[in-house]
Amino acid sequence: MNYNKKTVKDVEVSGKKVLLRCDFNVPQDKETGAITSDKRIVAALPTIQYLLEQDAAVIACSHLGKPEASFDKWVKKQAEKGKDPASLTEEKWKKSLAKLSLAPVAKRLGELLGKEVVMAADVVGEDAKAKAAALKPGEILLLENTRFEKGETKNDPELAKAMASMAEVYVSDAFGAVHRAHASTAGVADYLPAVSGFLIQKELDFLGGAIASPKRPLVAILGGAKVSSKIGVINNLLEIADTIIIGGGMSYTFSAAQGGKVGNSLLESDWMDYSKEMIAKAEAKGVKFLLPVDTVCGDKFAPDAKSQLVKAGEIPDGWEGLDIGPETVKLYCDAVSGAGTVIWNGPMGVFEFPAFAKGTEAMAEALSKTSAITVIGGGDSAAAVEQLGYADKMSHISTGGGASLEFLEGKELPGVACLLDA
């Protein structure tokens, strides 16, 4: 996949209407609907401010949550959750949609920009079209939640065409959504010249650079719960990494595959043969494949679990592995200290429980001290680094969980592939 894409600086935007796809899928309080973190809105500001400074008229769009755009499908989903279909009215469905309106985002974005953000009542309806037509250079309009349209997730060409008809240029800056071929992330590029914003440019520079031309040695740290969710990543990284470090819940499947006792630890027995194959493949390719040598285990999956330190593969019955042990921490930190590039995706243990966060914390600290280029995949590893206070010490923290994972697998991302090559 070509990671060298044209950016917003490579096209003329002055006096033009620009359709800008952002990732405003912000966390909200379930009761009040208040935005609990505006990080994703802040991340979009550099591109928005650049466009406004260049006298572009910005038509921003985003999804928020998973609204069901069809009343019938909403009823079916609610019934599956045990709700009485007779009690499900169109009024209730519309209320469920209203909770996922982007209006609070428009308000917060306006506060951050220090100027009014015009809010459209729909995506491609009369209100959106009228407001887009009236938009002047230096002004910004936010369309309503793109997933309120049935055709969004199906990449409906008619919806994409209708969105594109309001603008002259398309700028993609929602890395968290580029792994999905939706109308607003990929379809619109069939009708408009498409380039990246600064956020996606940074992701492509760091993630693309780490894979295509890494400063060596390249060390990949892979954690998280399941081997099955990291198959593609391990396979792809075995082709390019010098060292692969395995931690988290998936390490117990590797341990069991080598004949170890894992007690009640997370285990995917169906993936034990695959785990053996990966170890053999690493050996054949001369890639160091590091697995835990000791484990901190608990008598239950809880923050107040009793804990004990055991050798890897010697977890007693009734106990489960919840973190890597001190010898493993030393082994892994030594491997990272001499790295040129480090990619980290997935925590080393149950970092949400303070008693079992030491392995993850030690890795974050080791990465903060290395001179290597440090790239943190989105999702739990990003959350861990931020929670532990090391975010500002990393070269790059990806804004997309699923997208960064598919990137590391070497998959083509539809929302990137559709952009013009530089």
**Catalytic residue list:** 40, 226, 379, 402
Task: Specify the pairing of strand 117-119 against strand 57-61.
Answer: unpaired
Burial of 245 by CB count in 10 Å (0-12 exposed, 13-18 middle, 19+ buried)? buried
Q: How many Å apart are CA 367 and CA 336, to the nearest integer?
A: 7
> How is residue 413 annotated by DSSP?
P
Q: How many Å apart are CA 290 and CA 418, to the nearest integer?
A: 37
Phi, psi torsion values for 378, nearest 5 degrees: -70, -170
Q: Which two tokens mark 108?
A: 């917060």
Among 8, 19, 29, 118, which residue's Cα sits nearest to residue 60?
19
Measured N-to-C along each axis, helices 401-408 and 231-240 cross at an angle, to the nearest 10 degrees, of 50
Q: Which two tokens mark 210?
A: 């780490």
Q: Which two tokens mark 274?
A: 């695959």
Question: What are residue 57's DSSP bridge partners?
Answer: 17
* Amino acid identity, position 90: E
Phi, psi torsion values for 64, nearest 5 degrees: -150, 115
163 in Cβ contact with 19 (< 8 Å): yes
> How is residue 308 annotated by DSSP?
E
Task: Specify the pairing of strand 243-246 against strand 218-222.
Answer: parallel
Phi, psi torsion values for 219, nearest 5 degrees: -110, 125
Residues 6+ apart with CB under 8 A from 344: 220, 221, 223, 363, 367, 374, 375, 376, 377, 381, 385
